[in-house]
């Protein structure tokens, strides 16, 4: 609030404090005085078009809309006087003139603002006897169902698109009696936050397509939980019906997601009951899969682990853990591994360059609180398709940008954002490094500082251009600035170099260095000790084990996979499957099973997804957010922490008799006191020159927004959206010209030993000699490295 002074106003005879720039409705809301409304929404601009909020104001000749009437000192407002009541009743009657009153067949019934307000403020009969308006619906895509005859033209959905999503797709077309809210042309709403218009719509005009007609609002139970698909940790409310997840809606948390939710977090639940769910433990016996009791399957698991360690040594066992596992699961996995002496344990599945891991923060963090992003003055994002990877963070950056911040990016593809980008640097994998070096040098020069000796070569090689200098200046001038390494930076083939340069850049420019990591619980994994070089709370391992890359480059005797599908979730799909198939034993603790998995596994243990277990995710601010299971475990599957506790007992792990996941968490918490304190820096990796253009074509990968994890990949409606359907590769027109390819041509993509057919789009946002490919999809589950050499062949 710009002005901190306050004065007094009176509402319904009660004296209340008000700030000069407030509207009457805000003071009333803060004090629990109810004023009916439809168009007003706390997070949206004021439209004052529905007139439902009319109140009486002393000395005003007629009722005034509370949402658009600024407070004045000494003002006296009556929300309940005969005049106010009459005005509200009249408005309500007007609003219902064209409303179909079809509540019995409307999905909103029981949680409808129109219904509630009509009950509270409307009359019993309408004086209107003429025919009503009917509106033909347009299909808005697989996520949002429409019944526009019910629309009361409050324009909340329109304002949401314009102001919050930054993508104006809905509008009011026509005029007067013929005004319609819609898209005018038939098109799927494409914002990755589109589901929020379901929540803001006060009537049943916009409802959730996947869950509609499946349950009534009053039949649902709700549990608070935490979204499991990105590092933001949006707060959610899971609505369940007959012990099944029926839908997911946002839970207000001003510090994280406010009242919004990304479509991925909202609709991914559809994947939970997919037919691939593994119902009972199974063991491969002489080439045959047989279902087994938990006891037998766990005993077999323990035996595999013990024998592998005893016969081949601890370093012949590898443990790969999804960054979406809960903190409790991770900590127990760490304890079991530690007990068996195994240090080949990792969660960094889409990473390939681990050489600077000793300098990595103990727990990767955004560096500022999520809410503080709104107040940044300059942000440089490195390797991030922010709107698709962390939609809520993108929303925060959009707010910052609207506040006047400079948002800048350094990427391997020119990704669309729904906010202005002040500067965009684009490069192939080595180009990105050189750009970053140039910005770093520009900052050092502005500071009259010498290049540190280990960076002198690469900096000398990269003369800053005007664009680098502009970025440097903006970062230096920022009172609050951030350099953020995104998911694609972390997957970069020379991530260590990016990290060294970004660290230097942030330090010299005096801004924070932040990370936006893959998965929901990467920070938790680091704190729990799911790393080959560090134990719980970042304690160094005396004898570091193999990282995910090493574990999957040559075959070990035995592997344990926790909650992942390696062909989608690892750096090199093809190689991973080959290695796992060659391994003697693979134990999968997994909610889903596929034929691929049956092909390499020999024990399958059904563990539950996050909706069926209690647990904790640590978000990118370092916030430990715990949740309870919302529904019972499917069939014979069990929460991961319980399975691991029993496994721990079978392996004679001491003090492993936890009664609850809270106990597990408390124990870990007692070790993790202050991870933010960090570690003394060790010598950083030597940085070589990137002065040779790559010889052949280079693959670039952005993990598809709905391909990030096993649940999302099975969420049917999300998979039907245009963005999920877009499985095309992208090359720029220069390369297309050279290869004589046109838009929509089919080409063969060759990588590793595979050759698959894909369609192509010409996109000049892709750097020269590069082929951009969506990752986490069926096609790419057959290819090799996420970044690296690739070949294209015309069909």
**Residue ranges that bind ligand SF4, judged by CB under 6 A:** 151-157, 181, 200-203, 205-206
Binding to ligand FES by residue 95, rule CB under 6 A?
no
CB of 239 to ligand SF4, least distance (A): 20
* Among the residue ranges 173-181, 280-288, 291-299, 713-721, the one whose residues contact other proteins (CB under 8 A): 173-181
Binding to other proteins by residue 174, rule CB under 8 A?
yes
**Interface residue with ligand FES, options 18, 44, 53, 644 (CB under 6 A):** 53
Distance between CA atoms of residues 269 and 246, nearest Å: 8
- Residue reference for tokens 């960054």: 323
With CB cut-offs between 5 and 8 Å by kind, which of other proteins, ligand SF4, ligand FES, none does residue 152 bind? ligand SF4
Judged on CB neighbours under 10 Å (0-12, 13-18, 19+), 369 is middle
Binding to ligand FES by residue 57, rule CB under 6 A?
no
Interface with other proteins: number of residues (CB under 8 A): 15
Which among 602, 593, 638, 529 has a CA at the least distance from the CA of 308? 602
User: Is the CB of 91 or the CB of 268 nearer to ligand SF4?
Assistant: 91
CB burial string 370-384: b at 16+ within 10 A, e below: bebbbebbbbbbbbb
- What is the number of alpha carbons within 13 Å of residue 461 lying toward its C-beta? 18
User: Is the CB of 475 or the CB of 762 nearer to other proteins?
Assistant: 762
Which among 57, 61, 117, 56 has a CA at the least distance from the CA of 83? 56
Spatial neighbors of 457 by CB under 8 A, at least 6 apart, are 687, 688, 689
What is the contact mask toward ligand FES in residues 20 to 49, using x (rule: CB under 6 A)?
-----------------xxxx-------xx
Distance between CA atoms of residues 422 and 732, nearest Å: 23
Binding to other proteins by residue 316, rule CB under 8 A?
no
Binding to other proteins by residue 191, rule CB under 8 A?
no
Strands, E assignment, 387-507: 406-411, 423-426, 481-485
CB of 131 to ligand SF4, least distance (A): 20
With CB cut-offs between 5 and 8 Å by kind, which of other proteins, ligand FES, ligand SF4, none does residue 156 bind? ligand SF4
Binding to ligand FES by residue 200, rule CB under 6 A?
no
Query: CB–CB of 651/336 below 8 Å?
Result: yes
User: Is the CB of 103 or the CB of 761 nearer to other proteins?
Assistant: 761
With CB cut-offs between 5 and 8 Å by kind, which of ligand SF4, other proteins, ligand FES, none does residue 174 bind? other proteins
CB of 25 to ligand FES, least distance (A): 7
Distance between CA atoms of residues 708 and 706, nearest Å: 6
User: Is the CB of 38 or the CB of 641 nearer to ligand FES?
Assistant: 38
- What is the number of alpha carbons within 13 Å of residue 549 lying toward its C-beta? 13
Strand order in the sheet with 244-250: 221-226, 235-241, 244-250
Binding to ligand FES by residue 55, rule CB under 6 A?
no
Binding to ligand FES by residue 331, rule CB under 6 A?
no
User: Is the CB of 44 or the CB of 397 nearer to ligand FES?
Assistant: 44
**Interface residue with other proteins, options 42, 479, 543, 764 (CB under 8 A):** 764
Judged on CB neighbours under 10 Å (0-12, 13-18, 19+), 112 is buried
What 3-state DSSP class applies to 577? Answer: helix
* Among the residue ranges 169-177, 468-476, 552-560, 707-715, the one whose residues contact other proteins (CB under 8 A): 169-177
With CB cut-offs between 5 and 8 Å by kind, which of other proteins, ligand FES, ligand SF4, none does residue 543 bind? none
With CB cut-offs between 5 and 8 Å by kind, which of ligand SF4, other proteins, ligand FES, none does residue 67 bind? ligand FES
Binding to ligand FES by residue 181, rule CB under 6 A?
no
User: Is the CB of 194 or the CB of 211 nearer to other proteins?
Assistant: 194
**Interface residue with ligand FES, options 29, 33, 51, 633 (CB under 6 A):** 51
Binding to other proteins by residue 134, rule CB under 8 A?
no
Binding to other proteins by residue 173, rule CB under 8 A?
yes
CB of 169 to ligand SF4, least distance (A): 12
Strand order in the sheet with 345-346: 288-291, 282-285, 603-606, 585-590, 558-562, 317-321, 345-346
Spatial neighbors of 760 by CB under 8 A, at least 6 apart, are 728, 729, 730, 731, 736, 741, 743, 744, 745, 746, 747
What is the bridge-based pairing of β-strands 282-285 and 603-606? antiparallel
Residue 733: Cβ within 10 Å count = 14
Binding to other proteins by residue 49, rule CB under 8 A?
no
**Interface residue with other proteins, options 22, 107, 147, 169 (CB under 8 A):** 169
**What Cα–Cα distance (Å) separates residue 714 from each residue in 273, 389, 710?**
9, 18, 7
CB of 191 to ligand FES, least distance (A): 24
Query: CB–CB of 552/569 below 8 Å?
Result: no
With CB cut-offs between 5 and 8 Å by kind, which of ligand FES, other proteins, ligand SF4, none does residue 33 bind? none
Distance between CA atoms of residues 40 and 22, nearest Å: 13
**Interface residue with other proteins, options 67, 170, 249, 332 (CB under 8 A):** 170
User: Is the CB of 67 or the CB of 118 nearer to ligand FES?
Assistant: 67
The residue ranges that bind ligand FES (CB under 6 A) are 37-40, 48-53, 65, 67
The residue ranges that bind other proteins (CB under 8 A) are 162, 167-175, 183-185, 733, 764
């Amino acid at each position: 609030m710009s002005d901190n002074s306050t004065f007094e106003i009176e509402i319904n005879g009660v004296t209340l404090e008000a700030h000069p720039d407030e509207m009457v409705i805000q003071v009333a809301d803060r004090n629990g005085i109810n004023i009916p409304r439809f168009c007003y929404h706390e997070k949206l601009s004021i439209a004052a078009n529905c007139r439902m909020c009319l109140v009486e104001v002393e000395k005003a000749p007629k009722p005034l809309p509370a949402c658009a009437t600024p407070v004045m000192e000494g003002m006296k407002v009556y929300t309940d006087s005969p005049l106010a009541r009459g005005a509200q009743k009249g408005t309500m009657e007007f609003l219902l003139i064209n409303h179909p009153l079809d509540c019995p067949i409307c999905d909103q019934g029981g949680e409808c603002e129109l219904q509630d307000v009509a009950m509270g403020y409307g009359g019993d009969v309408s004086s209107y006897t003429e025919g009503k308006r009917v509106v033909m619906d347009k299909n808005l895509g697989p996520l949002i169902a429409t019944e526009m005859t019910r629309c009361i033209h409050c324009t909340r959905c329109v304002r949401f698109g314009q102001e919050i999503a930054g993508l104006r797709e809905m509008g009011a077309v026509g005029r007067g009696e013929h005004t319609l809210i819609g898209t005018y042309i038939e098109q799927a709403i494409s914002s990755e936050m589109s589901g929020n218009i379901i929540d803001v719509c006060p009537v049943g005009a916009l409802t959730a397509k996947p869950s509609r007609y499946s349950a009534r609002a009053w039949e649902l139970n709700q549990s608070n939980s935490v979204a499991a698909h990105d590092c933001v940790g949006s707060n959610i409310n899971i609505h369940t019906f007959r012990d099944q997840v029926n839908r997911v809606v946002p839970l207000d948390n001003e510090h994280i997601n406010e009242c919004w939710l990304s479509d991925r977090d909202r609709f991914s639940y559809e994947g939970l009951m997919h037919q691939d769910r593994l119902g009972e433990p199974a063991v491969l016996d002489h080439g045959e899969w047989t279902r087994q009791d938990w006891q037998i399957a766990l005993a077999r698991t323990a035996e595999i682990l013990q024998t592998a360690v005893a016969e081949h040594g601890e370093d012949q066992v590898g443990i790969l853990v999804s960054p979406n596992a809960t903190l409790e699961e991770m900590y127990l996995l760490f304890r079991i591994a530690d007990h068996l002496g195994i240090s080949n344990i990792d969660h960094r599945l889409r990473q390939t360059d681990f050489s600077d891991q000793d300098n990595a923060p103990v727990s990767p963090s955004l560096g500022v609180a999520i809410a503080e992003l709104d107040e940044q003055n300059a942000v440089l994002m490195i390797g991030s398709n922010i709107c698709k990877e962390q939609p809520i963070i993108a929303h925060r950056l959009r707010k910052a940008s609207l506040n006047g911040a400079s948002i800048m990016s350094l990427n391997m593809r020119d990704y669309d954002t729904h906010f202005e980008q002040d500067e965009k640097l684009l490069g192939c994998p080595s180009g990105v490094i050189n750009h970053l070096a140039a910005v770093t040098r520009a900052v050092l020069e502005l500071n009259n500082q010498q290049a540190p000796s280990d960076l002198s070569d690469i900096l000398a090689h990269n003369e800053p251009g005007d664009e680098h200098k502009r970025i440097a200046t903006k970062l230096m001038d920022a009172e609050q600035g951030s350099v953020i390494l995104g998911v694609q930076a972390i997957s970069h083939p020379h991530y260590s170099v990016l990290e060294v340069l970004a660290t230097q850049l942030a330090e010299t420019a005096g801004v924070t260095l932040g990370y936006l990591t893959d998965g929901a619980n990467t920070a938790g994994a680091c704190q729990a000790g799911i790393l080959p070089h560090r134990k719980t709370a970042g304690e160094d391992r005396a004898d570091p084990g193999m990282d995910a890359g090493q574990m999957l480059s040559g075959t070990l005797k035995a592997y344990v996979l926790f909650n992942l599908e390696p062909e989608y979730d690892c750096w090199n799909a093809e190689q991973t499957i080959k290695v796992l198939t060659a391994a003697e034993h693979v134990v999968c603790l997994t909610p889903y099973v596929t034929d691929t998995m049956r092909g390499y596994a020999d024990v399958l243990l059904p563990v539950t997804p996050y909706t069926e277990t209690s647990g904790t995710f640590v978000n990118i601010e370092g916030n430990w957010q715990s949740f309870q299971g919302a529904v019972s475990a499917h069939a014979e599957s069990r929460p991961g922490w319980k399975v691991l506790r029993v496994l721990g007992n079978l392996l004679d792990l001491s003090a492993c008799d936890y009664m609850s996941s809270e106990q597990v968490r408390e124990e870990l918490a007692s070790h993790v006191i202050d991870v933010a304190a960090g570690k003394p820096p060790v010598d950083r990796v030597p940085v070589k020159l990137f002065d040779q253009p790559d010889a052949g074509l280079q693959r670039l990968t952005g993990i598809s927004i709905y391909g990030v994890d096993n649940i999302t990949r099975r969420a049917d409606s999300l998979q039907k959206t245009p963005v999920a359907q877009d499985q095309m590769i992208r090359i720029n027109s220069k390369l297309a010209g050279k290869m004589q390819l046109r838009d929509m041509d089919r080409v063969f993509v060759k990588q590793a030993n595979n050759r698959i057919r894909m369609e192509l789009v010409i996109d000049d946002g892709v750097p020269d000699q590069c082929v951009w490919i969506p990752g986490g999809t069926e096609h790419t589950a057959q290819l090799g490295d996420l970044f690296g050499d690739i070949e294209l062949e015309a069909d």
